[in-house]
Amino acid sequence: MFLKNAWYVAGTPDEIDAKPLGRKICGESIVFYRGAGGEVVALEDFCPHRGAPLSLGFVRDGELVCGYHGLQMGCDGKASSMPGQRVGGFPAVRRYAALERYGFLWVWPGDASQADPAKLHHLPWADDPQWAYGGGLYHIRCDYRLMIDNLMDLTHETYVHASSIGQKEIDEAAPKTVSRGDEVVTSRFMHNVSAPPFWKMALRGNGLADDVPVDRWQVCHFTPPGHVMIEVGVAHAGHGGYDAPADRKAASIVVDFITPETETSIWYFWGMARNFQPDNAELTTQIREGQGKIFGEDLEMLERQQQNLLAWPERQLLKLNIDAGGVLSRKVIDRLLAEERSPAPGRPVAPIVPAKGAV
């Protein structure tokens, strides 16, 4: 149960440099590769000859060649040639709207005629040389909404990430959640606290003392279909916190793109963008490795949570004030799903059937 008429991160450009990339997104099996002009092409990952995955083939002269019997596919999804065979009458496979921007490959798994590039999530930091970015990808066996819940309620940091970014003050600082149209924002501010290990490293990376009290903030922004951008940082206490001058803080944006694979699995593209020491490649690597370990700590929790929900689908989950960000984000998704499934006049619509264990 996910939106189809939306832009999702499908991969990174390096993933299609050497060979086609096969990836299931929102239940759609898609193959990505570069056409003759270098543009990103996304086709149904199905050879019309014998049904082999086209992603097991290779690219020749900007066209995709099936690795089973050599059927060559044009970028429009139509068979163009095959050794010793006539293939002009073969049925075309589906072409998906796709583009490359901000250092990511994007795909629109729904109606390609509605795929407006202007609807792409804007990432101003991605085109700004004053910012640096490093990130990675995890495949996680959970409902994409569980990942959104996780990111919109950072209370779990105290427990899941106790050795890196967690601290008891997170529990003690009540979050505030507001909904602004399709965006949900949950914010939490902590004052005059000790910086946890990850943030001590970030302070040192920006040439700041790491052994003094700090003000810390977390501002989580959810936007559909599954994007969570989190403004995070610490500043030396007494200098304005979130609004402190650059020479008194280490601030970043935690970048989270949650792309559903199936009802119970996701592609999780994670990273961190920062506007301090942008040319320091060693710091970028250090932050990426540290962040990768942090997100890896979430993986087992989310997958085991999903297993429990599948095992006990009748169990009702409780909602507390800390869950407001996830709850309101789900309401946005549900509303947009209902709008997407609205039938044309006089045309019936199939009912939405929730996945087993979904909440």
In a domain, 104, yes or no: yes
In a domain, 343, yes or no: no
Domain end call among 85, 119, 153:
119
Mean pLDDT of the chain: 93
pLDDT in tens, 110-150: 999 999 999 999 999 999 999 999 999 999 999 999 999 99
Domain of residue 302, residue span: 128-328
Q: Is 262 found in the same domain as 192? A: yes
Q: Is 175 found in the same domain as 306? A: yes
In a domain, 346, yes or no: no
CATH of the domain at 64: 2.102.10.10
pLDDT in tens, 311-332: 999 998 889 999 999 999 999 9
Q: Is 161 found in the same domain as 183? A: yes
Q: Is 221 found in the same domain as 161? A: yes
Q: How many folded domains does the chain comprise?
A: 2
Q: Is 183 found in the same domain as 57? A: no
CATH of the domain at 240: 3.90.380.10
pLDDT in tens, 234-273: 999 999 999 999 999 999 999 999 999 999 999 999 999 9
Q: Where do runs of H (alpha helix) occur along 90-248? A: 144-152, 157-160, 168-172, 197-205
Q: Which residues of 133-158 are buried (b: 16+ CB within 10 A; e: fewer)?
A: bbbebbebebbbbbbbbbbbbbbbbb
In a domain, 2, yes or no: no
Q: Is 267 found in the same domain as 150? A: yes
pLDDT in tens, 194-215: 999 999 999 999 999 999 999 9
Q: Is 107 found in the same domain as 33? A: yes
pTM: 0.92
In a domain, 205, yes or no: yes
Q: Is 314 found in the same domain as 296? A: yes
Q: Is 179 found in the same domain as 73? A: no
Does residue 348 have a pLDDT over 80?
Answer: no
Q: Is 80 found in the same domain as 134? A: no
Cβ contact 185:230 at 8 Å: no
Q: Is 89 found in the same domain as 41? A: yes
Residue 203 has φ and ψ, to the nearest 5°, of: -60, -45
**Cα separation, 353 vs 313, whole angstroms:** 14
In a domain, 99, yes or no: yes
**Cα separation, 185 vs 188, whole angstroms:** 10
